[in-house]
Amino acid sequence: MANRVVNSVLGQGTRMWSPVSRAVRAMSSGAGSGASPSHTYETLRVSQPRESVIHVELHRPEKRNAMNQAFWREMVVCFDRIAEDSDCRAVVVSGAGKIFTAGIDLMDMAGDVLQPEGDDAARRAWNLQRKIREYQDTFSVIERCSKPVLVAVHGACVGGGVDLISACDIRFCSQDAWFQIKEVDIGLAADVGTLQRLPKVIGSRSLVSELAYTARKLMSDEAKSCGLVSRVFPDKDSMMEGVLDMASEISSKSPVAVQGTKINLLYSRDHSVREGLEYIVSAKTHTHTLRRTHTQTQTLRHAHTH
């Protein structure tokens, strides 16, 4: 009976502020248990190099971390689990091997992209739309995760790699890094986030258009000057040390404050200043209500068990 009351109370009024609600739930549920979700994947290697910091490594080094069908599925599962992990306060993403990623694995993905299922044009178009939305979710899940996501790029970051890093909160790279919106060279328009997010990341639609139309490489010094990355390191080792240090610093702060900040930054990016100000007032009020409700329900549970 007590559990039904708890779930009913916690569920009230959370639909509108679901990002805030999920963040507060993740921070309160299982607190102090020390348990983290199990991560076993074909294309990703997940570890915890520092306290409260999860490291997600793209791990197909023999294929230059090309994004095959398993990768697109596993990223969603991985970040959904991280979002619910109350012990995690910051996430670092990097690539194994010589480069960050070569982008989409054309040999593995050609059937989905170039030959969608269906007996006629309408069904093929419908299936292609559904598949593209699934691919978009692979990187949107990074934004939905309330934990700050830092990405460390070395070597090439091509095609889908740019989609991925555009969805992250903080971007670092090594001196040898370069970035390329490659899709136009294979007769496609980038369709899983670059064209939507990158103009807001670097603030220059002209530069984004140039990169997307020509598929030219953006080298690390230009990436720093245009704001795509915030720091450039001499090599991968120093970059990984630097990104883990920053992740540790972030994880030492209040998770309520940090995750609430991410939620409001993302909301403000896509709304007017006035709407953003109204949102943060309402979100803070809602968070306060959730905290009070959580305290009350804990009291109810305690009374029920004693």
Q: Sort 107 into a burial class: Cβ within 10 Å, 0-12 / 13-18 / 19+.
A: exposed
What is the rounded distance in angstroms from the CA atom of residue 53 to the CA atom of residue 246?
A: 10
The catalytic position among 163, 193, 202, 263 is 163
Active-site hit among 54, 104, 181, 263: 104
- Determine the Cα–Cα distance for residues 71 and 155; give it in Å rounded to an integer: 20
Active-site residue flag, 117: no
Catalytic residue among 95, 160, 193, 260: 160
> Is residue 160 among the annotated active site residues?
yes
The catalytically annotated residue of 108, 191, 222, 280 is 191
Distance CA 87, CA 48 (A): 10
Q: Is 259 in contact with 27 (CB distance < 8 Å)?
A: yes
- Does 97 qualify as catalytic in the annotation? no
Type of residue numbered 175: Q
Phi, psi of 179 (to 5 degrees): -125, 140
End-to-end CA distance of the chain: 14
Indicate which residue of 99, 112, 183, 260 is catalytic. Answer: 183
- Max CA distance (Å), the chain: 69
- As given in the structure block, the two tokens for residue 136 are 């978009």
Indicate which residues carry an active-site annotation: 104, 160, 163, 183, 191
